[in-house]
Structure 1
Amino acid sequence: MIKMQQTMRWFGPQDTVNLIDIKQAGATGVVTALHHIPVGEIWTVQEIKNRQEIVRNAGLEWVVVESLPVHEEIKRASGDYLLYIENYKISIKNLAECGIKIITYNFMPILDWVRTDHDFVNQDGSRALLYNKEAFTYFDVFLLKRPNSENSYSIIEKEKALEFGNKLSESDKKLLFRNVLLGLPGSKIDFTAKQILDLLDNYATIDDAKLRENLIFFLSETAPVAEQYGSKLAIHPDDPPFSVLGLPRILSVESDIKAIFEAVPLAANGLCYCTGSLGANPNNDLEKIIDNYGDRIHFLHLRNTIRENESIFRESEHLIGDTKMEVIVEKLIALMNRRKESLPMRPDHGFLHAIEGAREQYPGYSLIGRLKGLAELRGLEMGIAYKLGNPV
């Protein structure tokens, strides 16, 4: 019986969750990246080995890269993008030389992910991430004042957003501004509206079709290199799986996955199967995606969401939400046994529990919440295995 390889994300030596915490949580490996290296520069063998040594000294293995970031100029096919692609190829080769062969990345412009509330209080007092379209609309139209943003929303949507915003204090508005922009790399600093608008201007002429074209070019260059070295590229779906700030979206629904796999039909061109990002769109059939693209799934993000209504979704417990995790895990077990290989998995986005409240944590990445998720997913996997007559 082949089981998932259990990992946790670790943001590096500066992470308030340390490697001993992760090992004691039951993980056997970590998912990390060299965040100190500027985006676009080469990850040298020495830098990779330095990080590997730190991880191994804690009794763990560096299993997956998340992320080897894609420079914004690659996404726009502008400036020095060809140089950055060459650097990316060298980094793939260097990682493979060190035995690290699963590389996660995303192709979302500017923002890696977006939530409007990083401190939503659940009924039990734990805290979670939440996206509220009314809050985001208010941010976009009335706080950021993105040019022509009013054309992105209906009259009713703008009225509801203004009603939402009128209830906010000045400190609430500042917090909303910071929350939305936390998904911007390096966003522990406070960005001004002008800085964000300048970044958005760079994408003024890039629509979905053009961004997809740029992704396919990037993959046509990098996937053959990954294939040559036995490595696998795993693209992360858009989070959330719809346009924000008028930016293009090209990995939100199954047809998007199909398009890039058909354009670059190499096994190295694969998917980070994130049940949270894909599941936030009610039109996505998560089971069908496994059925249709299981051979291209290289890494698993298992988390759950609840759509309260058409405007709000929030992170939920790993086993309780809109996604039937027991069905997903059973299909993944069957997939791994058919492929005869284990897939690395991490429990994505956990709740912040009261016991950790005073400890600085990156939203969604507290230790206890992820430990709980990992334990639940391990138990679910073991229970399914026994049901199938194949104990782990």
Structure 2
Amino acid sequence: MEMVFRWFGEGNDTVPLNYIKQIPGVKGIVWSLHDVPAGEKWPEEEIQKVKAQADQYGFSIDVVESVNVHEDIKMGLPTRDKYIENYKDTIRSLAKVRVKVICYNFMPVFDWVRTELHQPMDDGATALFYEKKKVDEMNPDDLVHTILENKELSMPGWEPDRLSDLARLFKAYKDIDEERLWGNLKYFLEEIIPVAEANGIKMAIHPDDPPWPIFGLPRIITSKENIKRLLHLVESPFNCLTFCSGSLGANLHNDLPEIVKEYIDRIPFAHIRNLKHFDNGDFIETSHRTSDGSLDIFSIVKAFHNGGFQGYIRPDHGRHIWDEECRPGYGLYDRALGIMYLLGIWDSLDRMKEAKV
């Protein structure tokens, strides 16, 4: 297992690389070219800049998160082919710096969704929060109006070019149900997986967050059964899953350790975080510690350890603690604490295994 840390790049991240270097056990950064719009080729000179920055601190750049998929691909429009060709070229460029995994998602319009970025907690920290009733009652027209009126409203992972085109996108997705979205994903994978395989890069789709339809938009990477369907769309060891405990764990019917055990040979990359569920369907993100939330983080890590996991793991969204001002969910302090908790579990499991030999 290799511990990695998500980094948004110089000028985009409050956490500098020299701080990340001081977190014990971190071997690499998880990165992206966040200023390149979805659908465009990634410039090789910009890729090389990130490699040079990482090399200064001895970090790997094996994992990219994300090479975003253009909406025309998700909607299956005739223009999708040109964007798919650009995607293939980006895969080839990333192979030149020895990238091993590309994390991406196929969520229509929005990336992960929360209703509050700084929900107060009992101990004075704040965290990302999802209020089910608010999302359920907000129709697309209200959402578009709210975002357009509030110029400062944004969510990490939401691309600016999509936000400015929300009304058109909602209208375009009206006739796209889950089956059509599955078909469009299959078309995309059939095109790119041979290129990824030829270049030694695993394409690891991220589960939908939350794992159910929102604002009338379909979502399909939501459960063990749907993960199985995904992995059979294209029969290749390079068609993979990014396991995310927080995304899949938002639905308590998902047995997370069982998903790890079932698909570990197709999981090259994992996000691990905890969250606490409430009876009304709300949830808030907590520390990584098992007892602080509703997810059994120990059993999840144990499933990876017992399966001989050789891929990459990163701590996912952290709380905002000790008055840190940072990108919501992506501060230094709580994610560093999360790393130490995860490595503590892993090291203990190593010792237990050695004691049995």
- Compute the RMSD of aligned alpha carbons: 2.5
Give the number of aligned pairs. Answer: 352
In the alignment, does 2:320 pair up with 1:352?
yes
Give me the identity figure in percent. 38
Cα distance, 1:38 vs. partner? 2.0
Structure 1 residues 72-98: Cα deviation after superposition (integer angstroms, max 9, x where no partner) = 111111142101111111111111121
Aligned to 1:260: 230
Please tell me whether Structure 1 or Structure 2 has the larger radius of gyration of its CA atoms: 1
Report the equivalent of 2:98. 99
Q: Which residue number corresponds to residue 158 of structure 1?
A: none
Kindly indicate whether the alpha-carbon contact (under 8 Å) linking 2:140 and 2:215 is maintained by their aligned counterparts in 1.
no
Aligned residue in 2 for 1:323: 295
Residues 185-217 of structure 1 deviation map (CA, whole Å, 9 limit, x = unaligned)? 235xxx999953322111111110001110011
Change (3 A) 1:292 1:378: same
CA distance in 2, matches of 1:143, 1:245: 10
CA distance in 2, matches of 1:283, 1:53: 44
TM-score, normalised by the number of residues in structure 1: 0.84
Deviation at 1:283, TM superposition (A): 1.3
TM-score, scaled to structure 2: 0.92
Q: Deviations over 1:299-320 (max 9, x none)?
A: 0100111111242011112122
Distance apart, 1:57 and its partner CA: 1.3
Q: Give yes or no for contact 2:3–2:28 (8 Å, CA) kept in 1.
A: yes
Greater CA drift, 177-186 or 292-301 = 177-186
Aligned equivalent of 2:23: 25
Task: Quickly say closer, same or farther: Cα 1:329–1:194, change in 2 above 3 A.
Answer: closer
User: Is 1:362–2:327 an aligned residue pair?
Assistant: yes
| Greater mean alpha carbon deviation, residues 26-35 or residues 235-244 | 26-35
1:71 CA drift (Å): 0.6
The answer to whether 1:12 aligns with 2:9 is: yes
> Partner residue of 2:353?
388
The answer for the alignment partner of 1:197 in structure 2 is 167
Stretches of 4+ aligned residues off by more than 4 angstroms: 173-181, 191-195
Instruction: Quickly say closer, same or farther: Cα 1:230–1:195, change in 2 above 3 A.
Output: closer
Instruction: Give secondary structure in 2 for the equivalent of 1:205.
Output: coil
Instruction: State how far apart, in whole Å, the 2-side matches of 1:378 and 1:194 are.
Output: 41
| Contact residue 91 and residue 196 of structure 2 kept, 8 A | yes
Q: List alignment gaps of at least 5 residues for structure 1.
A: 147-172
Distance 2:88 2:162 in 1: 34
Tell me which residue corresponds to 2:58: 59
Query: 1:330–1:193: structure 2 CA closer, same or farther, 3 Å change rule?
Result: closer
The verdict on how the C-alpha distance between 1:324 and 1:184 changes in structure 2, with shifts beyond 3 A counting, is: closer
Q: CA deviation at 1:174?
A: 8.1
AA aligned to 1:373 is G
1:260/1:175 Cα in 2 relative to 1: closer, same or farther (>3 Å)? same
Measured in 1, the distance between the counterparts of 2:159 and 2:96 equals 29
Corresponding residue of 1:279 = 249
- Structure 2 residue aligned with 1:182: 155
Is the contact between residue 20 and residue 58 of structure 1 (CA under 8 Å) also seen in structure 2?
yes
1:221 is matched with which residue: 182, 191, 207? 191
Choose which of 263, 266, 271 in structure 2 pairs with 1:301. 271
Give the direction of change, closer, same or farther, for the CA distance of 1:206–1:198 in structure 2 (3 Å limit): same
Q: 1:225 to 1:23 in 2, by over 3 A?
A: same
In structure 2, distance between residues paired with 1:194 and 1:85: 23
Match of 1:334 among 301, 306, 311: 306
Secondary structure of 1:246 counterpart: coil
1:212 touches 1:250 (CA, 8 Å); kept in 2? yes
2:122 equivalent in structure 1: 123
Cα deviations by residue, 1:86-126 (Å, 9 ceiling, x for unpaired): 11111111111211120000000110110001111111111
Kept in 1: contact 2:261–2:304 (CA 8 A):
no
- Paired residue secondary structure (2:118): strand
Cα separation, 2, equivalents of 1:175 and 1:305: 30
| Structure 2 runs not aligned, ≥5 long | none
- In 2, distance between residues paired with 1:130 and 1:19? 28
- Listed as ranges, the matches of 1:136-175 within 5 Å are 136-140=135-139, 143-144=142-143
Q: Report the CA distance shift for 1:43/1:195 in structure 2 as closer, same or farther (over 3 A).
A: closer
**Is 2:207 aligned against 1:245?**
no
The one-letter amino acid of 1:39's match is A
- Choose the corresponding residue for 1:372, options 316, 325, 337: 337
User: Which of 320-329 and 218-227 deviates more?
Assistant: 320-329
